[in-house]
Structure 1
Amino acid sequence: MVELEAVTRRYGKNTALDAVTVAFARGTFTAVMGPSGSGKSTLLQCAAGLDRPDAGRITVAGQDLTGLSERRLTLLRRERIGFVFQAFNLLPALTARQNVGLPMRLAGRRPDRATVDRALAAVGLADRAGHRPQQLSGGQQQRVAIARALVTRPAVLFADEPTGALDTNTGRDVLRLLRDLVDEHHQTIVMVTHDPAAAAYADRVLFLTDGRLSGSLSAPTASAVIEMMAAA
Structure 2
Amino acid sequence: MDPNQHVAVQLDRVARTYGHGSTEVTALREVSVAFRRGTFTAVMGPSGSGKSTLLQCAAGLDRPDSGQVIVDGVELGPLSEAKLTALRRERVGFVFQAFNLLSALSAEQNVGLPLRLAGRRPAAAQVRESLAQVGLAERGRHLPSQLSGGQQQRVAIARALITKPRVLFADEPTGALDSSSGREVLRLLRTLVDQQGQSTIMVTHDPVAAAYADTVLFLADGRVVDELTRPSAQAIAERMTRLETAA
What range describes the TM-score normalised by the shorter chain of this pair? over 0.9
CA drift at 1:101 = 0.1
Matched residue type, 1:37 = G
What residue in structure 1 maps to residue 156 of structure 2?
145
> Quick one: which of 38, 42, 63 aligns to 1:52?
63
What residue in structure 1 maps to residue 207 of structure 2?
196
CA distance in 1 between counterparts of 2:35 and 2:231 reads 16
Matched residue type, 1:3 = Q
Runs of 4+ in 1 over 6 A off after TM superposition: none
CA distance in 1 between counterparts of 2:236 and 2:149 reads 27
The yes-or-no answer on 1:5 pairing with 2:6 is no
1:37-89 CA-partner distances (Å, limit 9, x unpaired)? 10000000000000000000000001110111000000000000000000000
The yes-or-no answer on 1:173 pairing with 2:184 is yes
1:72-129 CA-partner distances (Å, limit 9, x unpaired)? 0000000000000000000011100000000000000111111111000000000000
TM-score (norm 1): 0.99
Runs (5+) with no aligned partner, structure 1: none
CA distance in 1 between counterparts of 2:224 and 2:201 reads 15
CA distance in 1 between counterparts of 2:85 and 2:156 reads 19
What residue in structure 2 maps to residue 40 of structure 1?
51
CA drift at 1:11 = 0.2
> Quick one: which of 30, 36, 40 aligns to 1:19?
30
> Quick one: which of 236, 239, 242 aligns to 1:225?
236
What residue in structure 1 maps to residue 140 of structure 2?
129
Q: Give secondary structure in 2 for the equivalent of 1:119.
A: helix
CA distance in 2 between counterparts of 1:229 and 1:113 reads 45
CA drift at 1:31 = 0.3
TM-score (norm 2): 0.93
CA distance in 2 between counterparts of 1:113 and 1:51 reads 33
Q: Give secondary structure in 2 for the equivalent of 1:71.
A: helix
Q: Give secondary structure in 1 for the equivalent of 2:141.
A: coil
Aligned residues: 232
What residue in structure 1 maps to residue 168 of structure 2?
157
CA distance in 2 between counterparts of 1:227 and 1:139 reads 28
Runs (5+) with no aligned partner, structure 2: 1-7
CA distance in 2 between counterparts of 1:134 and 1:227 reads 38
CA drift at 1:229 = 1.4
What residue in structure 2 maps to residue 104 of structure 1?
115
Could you tell me the percent identity over the aligned residues?
A: 69
CA distance in 1 between counterparts of 2:162 and 2:114 reads 8
CA distance in 1 between counterparts of 2:26 and 2:123 reads 44
What residue in structure 1 maps to residue 3 of structure 2?
none
> Quick one: which of 169, 179, 198 aligns to 1:187?
198
Matched residue type, 1:94 = L
